[in-house]
Amino acid sequence: MEVKRAAALRAFAGDRMTKVSLFETRRFFCDLYCFEPGQVQKGHVHGGEDKVYFVLEGRGRFTVWRRPGSRTAW
């Protein structure tokens, strides 16, 4: 089994959020999304799929099914 430390793989770009692939299988994938303050990810839907966001550092605002909320790093 390969072990990756998400915090060590963080990558940022000043003009947009950055996505780092952690792993992918036939049925599941896990990406690391890196945001600078003020950056956003456009709203979108994954038909028939779920998505999990885990905040490693800082604070993020999320809108799920048109219900806004915020989360802070653990």
The pTM score is 0.76
The candidate with the shortest Cα–Cα distance to 32, out of 43, 40, 45, 23, is 23
pLDDT in 10s for each residue of the chain, 74 residues: 889 999 999 999 999 999 999 988 888 888 999 999 999 988 877 777 777 788 889 988 888 777 888 877 76
Q: Which amino acid is at 13?
A: A
Gap between the Cα atoms of 71 and 46, Å rounded? 21
Mapping DSSP to helix (H, G, I), strand (E, B) and coil, where does residue 9 land?
A: helix
pLDDT score for 74 = 63
